[in-house]
């Protein structure tokens, strides 16, 4: 595998030295997009939050700052992401506000109906079957809980479609494809937004 392909493929499941370089870049590289996504959460006040595919852990940290009364869980199937997110969020962990666990979104080792909000930033491209994974998210959300997806790709932009060809197991989705999978997994009141000048999308759905 060429070095470029090897490096960009670390975004799917960071491992080793290149994976740590990728994780360091993700926390800063995704910050503006993630904050744009979080700005869509205006009326809710979640007490329990789970961030799925948490990567380097910046986005669960931002949510715990946004909601000072909330407790969080962050999940990633990469051991290295868990390590990086743990180091990044040590103050929240020490304060008893955050637990970070290794796990796969296709079969979450979490109880039913415990979260008010689930988030997924730049990660659903790699999930093994959207509908099945979204049903898992629905299972761990309380009735009336929200699931927010934020992607840098709207499923049509040339840059991401180029990466889709390079990174094994990556799939870019349109808001329509995401919305259909959410409906099939039992979500309702699905709202979508597209950034005015970038291919960023946010999809917010209610259980
Ligand atoms: C591109 S990174 C995004 C990380 C972070 N959410 C952010 O926005 O910076 C994708 C992350 O999703 C994780 N991931 C991909 N598929 C996953 C799965 N099936 N279960 C859990 N984590 C997954 C990867 O390990 C990686 O850390």
Q: What is the pLDDT along the chain (207 residues), one digit of tens a residue?
A: 678 888 888 788 988 888 888 888 889 898 999 999 999 999 999 999 999 999 999 999 999 999 999 999 999 999 999 999 999 999 999 999 999 999 999 999 999 999 999 999 999 999 999 999 999 999 999 999 999 999 999 999 999 999 999 889 899 999 999 999 999 999 999 999 999 999 999 999 999
Name residue, tokens 């070095």: 3
How far does the centroid of ligand 1 lie from the alpha carbon of residue 22, in Å? Answer: 11
Q: Does ligand 1 come within 6 angstroms of the Cβ of 126?
A: yes
Residue 1: predicted pLDDT? 60
Quote the pTM value: 0.96
Q: Does ligand 1 come within 6 angstroms of the Cβ of 121?
A: yes
In CATH terms, the fold of domain 3-206 is Rossmann fold (3.40.50)
Residue 113: predicted pLDDT? 98
Of 115, 112, 125, residue with least CA distance to 173: 125
Residue 67: predicted pLDDT? 98
Which numbered atom of ligand 1 lies nearest the CA of 106?
19
In angstroms, the Cα distances linking 164 to 30, 56, 126, 136, 157 are 18, 22, 10, 25, 11
Residue 10: predicted pLDDT? 78
Q: Does ligand 1 come within 6 angstroms of the Cβ of 81?
A: yes
Q: Does ligand 1 come within 6 angstroms of the Cβ of 10?
A: no
Give the domain ranges of the chain.
3-206
Contact between residue 52 and residue 119 where contact means Cβ atoms under 8 Å apart: yes
Q: Which ranges in the chain belong to alpha helices (H)?
A: 3-8, 16-29, 31-38, 58-66, 79-88, 90-94, 130-140, 158-166, 175-184
């Amino acid at each position: 595998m060429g070095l470029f392909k090897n490096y960009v493929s670390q975004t799917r499941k960071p491992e080793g030295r290149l994976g740590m370089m990728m994780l360091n870049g993700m926390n800063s590289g995704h910050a503006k997009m993630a904050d744009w996504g979080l700005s869509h959460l205006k009326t809710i006040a979640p007490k329990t939050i789970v961030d799925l595919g948490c990567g380097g852990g910046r986005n669960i940290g931002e949510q715990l700052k946004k909601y000072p009364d909330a407790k969080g869980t962050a999940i990633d199937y990469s051991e290295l992401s868990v390590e990086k997110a743990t180091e990044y969020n040590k103050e929240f962990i020490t304060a008893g506000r955050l637990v970070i666990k290794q796990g796969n979104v296709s079969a979450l080792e979490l109880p039913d109906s415990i979260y008010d909000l689930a988030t997924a930033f730049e990660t659903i491209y790699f999930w093994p079957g959207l509908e099945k994974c979204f049903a898992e998210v629905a299972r761990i959300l309380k009735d009336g809980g929200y699931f927010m997806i934020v992607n840098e790709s709207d499923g049509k932009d040339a840059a991401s479609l180029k990466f889709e060809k390079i990174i094994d197991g990556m799939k870019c989705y349109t808001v329509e494809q995401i919305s259909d999978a959410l409906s099939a997994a039992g979500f309702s009141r699905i709202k979508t937004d597209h950034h005015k000048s970038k291919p960023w999308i946010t999809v917010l759905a209610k259980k």
